[in-house]
Amino acid sequence: MAFKTGHGAFHNRGGPAKSAAITQALISELNAIDPFTKVTKMRMLIVRLVEMATCDKPDLGAIKEIYDRVEGKARQPVDVTNDGETTGRSAAVSVLAQFLDEALGREPARTDEKPMPN
């Protein structure tokens, strides 16, 4: 049997990706209602996660997970180089600081870093 153009020998062999099947199984199980508590297992998981984050000895991992889900993952700062030296400030922060200094008519903030070029 000849292959159709764009369909290699391994194209979709065996159906959907295994990770998609696992994800669907997890979603199905989390949406199931627990016979004892009469709430979904997803709700039980959320309640447990919040309990772990707010107990007498809070679990930092639980706090981080809640924060990441509510606020989104924190962006990682990017070091900017100026003539080959790392400034430690992101380009956006440097530009914003310069803009605010100019708009407010004040001297640029003093830092140990080189100013960004215009």
Max mean pLDDT range (41-50, 74-83, 102-111)? 41-50
Q: For the chain, which residues make up each domain, given as ranges?
A: 18-71, 75-118
The pLDDT value given to residue 97: 72
- Residue 89: is it exposed, middle or buried by C-beta count within 10 angstroms (0-12/13-18/19+)? buried
- Residue 40: is it exposed, middle or buried by C-beta count within 10 angstroms (0-12/13-18/19+)? middle
CA-CA distance, 27 to 33, in Å (whole number)?
12
The pLDDT value given to residue 88: 58
14-57 pLDDT per residue, tens: 665 677 889 999 999 999 999 999 999 999 999 999 999 999 99
